[in-house]
Amino acid sequence: MFTKVERLISLRNLKPKRKEGFLKVISIFSFLGIMLGVAILIIVMSVMNGFRTDLTNKILGLNPHIIVQPNTSIIDNNFKDHLKKNYLNLDFYDSYSGEGIIISANNAKGILVKGLNKNNLKSLFVKNDLINGNFENYKKGTAIIGAELSYTLGAKVGDKITIMSSAFMNTPLGGLPKQETFKIIGLFNSGFYEFDQNLIFITLNDAISLFDITEDDTYLELYLKQPFQANTIKKEIKKFNEDYYIYTWSDLNKSFFSALKVERNVMFIILTLIIIVAAFNIISGLTILIKNKTKEIAILKTLGLSSLSIKKSFFLTGFTIGFSATIAGVILGVIFSLYIENIRIFLSLVFNWNIFPPDVYFLTKMPSEINFVSIFIIFIFSLLITCLASYFPARSISKMKTTDALKYE
């Protein structure tokens, strides 16, 4: 593609003379600009991919993939038998969720109360999620709360808490919110700040009593081995019985994930401008280089070198800067993405500043997921910008007249 002469001319252009030191400075800034642009783009995309994946895993970890609620008809055994027979990759549990207020010795806080039986609750948690306590102690009159909620309330395992529900009971003084006392027998840490701060588990029978409902009012929570098939299975279940109210995890979080997608695309466009701005340095550098090399270009033409070969050699000069900068940016971005959590911890310790507060970003550590498809797209996009930035200055060589360039020599 490039002859030996063209490569030699390009190499000499990359080593400007001492009196052309400003060209070297422009080349360095071009290199650094493209390298940093590519690296930052990879880092930001990796963090946003990791953020989305981590949030999805956390949401799918404790949240049901499909929720079936009774509407005009109750959830009977006939429907459960249908699920067992037709969906082997699906587990389902009876549950009930409602809002309430938790009251400890020192504090009170609004929470989400979830009623689940012991075996069902154990199957939801990863073994290490329960950081204190034992599932075997989970029975009537007990509760498992998040570690963050425990810290907020100043409560620990063994303490008693009071939960006030939205249901009312009649008393001689009128209607009062129903409340019951529970003993904390475990603390969980899901890694998702919102869950750990606002979620509490009690037995299903306790939930039925606390919210003053019957077993016919309980929900059916479905958990799939492939959660992204939830919408397909939802449609199939809807055909079996249209009297149920059915919604999936994606229905509950549709606006949230749409916002993440829009933010990711906008960030990609904005950060790409860094690469484009850096490419202008290549344009200005090559333009100045060609202007200074007018006499040498004219001599090369006189010696028989074609305008195409000279254009290719100057194009190769700019492309070499952009290509090497892109490679360096990819390496830097990947390394930074792999160790971003360690870097975050180091910077937090050095500057005594919480760079990734969990109460804002919902997660306890900075996530990162390297997507090689995204890296390839960034790599190609950077090379495309570099090619355009190198082509237009080199194109001006064809308009250069040999006689004008040598007139005063």
Dump pLDDT digits (tens) for 148-207. 888 888 888 888 989 988 777 766 666 677 888 999 998 988 777 778 888 899 999 999
* Residue 352 clears pLDDT 80, i.e. is over it: no
Residue 142: band (very low, low, confident or very high) from pLDDT cuts 50, 70, 90: very high
Q: What is the Cα Rg of the chain in Å?
A: 32
Determine contact, residues 409/345, Cβ cutoff 8 Å: no
- Sign (positive/negative) of CA torsion 367, 371, 374, 378? positive
- pTM exceeding 0.75: no
Cα–Cα distance for residue pair 370/338, rounded to 1 Å: 8
Q: Residue 356 has what DSSP assignment?
A: S
Read off the tokens for 109. 């806080």
Highest mean pLDDT among 169-178, 313-322, 375-384: 375-384
* Residue 408 clears pLDDT 50, i.e. is over it: no
pLDDT digits (tens, 9 = 90+) for 58-96: 777 667 888 888 877 788 888 888 888 888 778 888 888
Neighbours of 78 (CB within 10 A): 9
Strand pairing report for 108-115 and 199-202 = parallel
* Residue of 341, 197, 256, 234 whose CA lies nearest to 56: 256
As a whole-number percent, the residues of the chain with pLDDT over 70 amount to 83
Cα–Cα distance for residue pair 164/210, rounded to 1 Å: 8
Boundaries of every domain in the chain: 4-57+256-406, 90-224
Point out which residues pair with 162 in neighbouring strands: 103, 181
Phi, psi of 73 (to 5 degrees): -140, 155
Q: Which residues contact 279 (CB under 8 A, 6 or more apart)?
A: 30, 33, 34, 322, 385, 386, 388, 389
Cα–Cα distance for residue pair 392/290, rounded to 1 Å: 12
Q: Residue 161 has what DSSP assignment?
A: E
* Residue 125 clears pLDDT 90, i.e. is over it: no
* Residue 389 clears pLDDT 60, i.e. is over it: yes
Residue reference for tokens 């950060």 = 271
Q: Quick one: average pLDDT of 117-145?
A: 80
pLDDT in the model for residue 137: 86
